[in-house]
Chains A and B, each alone.
Chain A
């Protein structure tokens, strides 16, 4: 047995009983709870949609019927939301490239790529804000749907679930943008090094998770 014990890397998190870094394990546990959180929202939407009345030959427009995919897609701006989806995918790419840059010791590139991600996050939120404004103008809100759909007896729960799911996701992006401001400033100050950049990696996990949730939400809310 050697008398010499190598000191842990500066800033490196302590290992847990599993042998895994404690901070990283904590982030994954947090993401596990986030899976439960978003799943609860998504499954509420699915169950509410499934339990709404369906049209019959005798009653083609039952009260409380869920808006049809055609009616929903007529209200929602899918090309604009698809652009937002693409922006998040690009931002995920810029985050992994930022991590790759600092793993290779390139601090300048780390700062640049985090700044790019920050801009993409702000654009995403701006587009979502614009979309919400347009939808509110057309009558789609937490407790209302456009008048032509309301007149046909369509369920207002569509608006409630839509804003609950996309709104909570938007709040996660907003939190990510705040974190990105901090990480970009820290990167600019040279506080991350090739040996100690755990914060960048852990932030990346969060940001990719937000991207992953949007991939699912985009399909369920906008395309189905």
Chain B
């Protein structure tokens, strides 16, 4: 016999982040945003034409961490079925694959993302 379908409300009645967790995430996001605004001034590179690799790395790690907090706690991915997380993971993997193709030959070390133009197409596209 089929089990009754749990509603969304029922699904969340037993688990989920606490109000305290929501507040901790909120203050973390606010503080990280304030820090983010100071990072460019703290890490100004020698080359005025482009951001340094360290600056790109520091800012992107901070932004992705903030995005992760929103997804994990506000969007409940940390508490919901793993299926939702896997669906998002598939989308991210697909798009990262295309970024890898698009930036072929240009990226080199991860943090040199903005350092130069495309120098070579993927060999299988030439």
Q: Is A65 an interface residue (CB 8 A)?
A: yes
Interface residues, chain A, CB within 8 Å of chain B? 1-2, 5-9, 11-15, 18, 20-21, 23-25, 28-29, 31-33, 35-36, 39-40, 43, 46-47, 49-55, 65, 68-70, 73, 78, 82, 85-86, 89-90, 92-93, 95-97, 100, 103, 194-198, 201-202, 204-205, 208-209, 211-212, 215-216, 218-220, 223-224
* B91 touching A36, Cβ below 8 Å: yes
Residues A215 and B70 in contact in the complex (CB < 8 Å), given A50-B106, A68-B48, A85-B33: yes
Interface size on B, residues (CB 8 A): 61
Most chain A CB within a 10 A radius of its CB, from B16, B19, B84, B92: B84
Contact A100 B22 (CB under 8 A): yes
The CA of A61 and the CA of B22, in the complex, are separated in Å by: 48
30 A-B pairs with CB atoms under 8 Å apart are: A1-B1, A11-B7, A14-B5, A15-B5, A20-B84, A24-B8, A28-B88, A35-B91, A35-B95, A36-B91, A40-B95, A43-B98, A47-B103, A50-B116, A54-B50, A54-B116, A69-B51, A70-B48, A82-B33, A82-B37, A85-B33, A89-B26, A92-B26, A92-B70, A96-B17, A212-B70, A216-B64, A216-B67, A219-B60, A220-B63
B118 to A50, Cβ gap below 8 A? yes
Main secondary structure of the interface of B (DSSP, over half): helix
Complex Cα distance, B81 from A24, in Å, reads 11
Verify B8–A208 contact, CB threshold 8 A. Answer: no
Task: Find B70's partner among A24, A51, A211, A224 (CB 8 Å cutoff).
Answer: A211
Contacts of A1 in B (CB 8 A): 1
Contact B33–A97 (Cβ < 8 Å)? no
Interface string of B12-56 (1 = CB under 8 A from A): 110011010011001001100100110110000000111100011
List of 4 A-B pairs having minimum Cβ-Cβ separation, nearest first: A12-B7, A9-B7, A219-B63, A39-B95
**With contact pairs A93-B26, A216-B63 given, residues A8 and B51 touching in the complex (Cβ less than 8 Å):** no
B93: min CB distance to chain A, Å: 11
B109 CB-CB contact with A under 8 Å: no
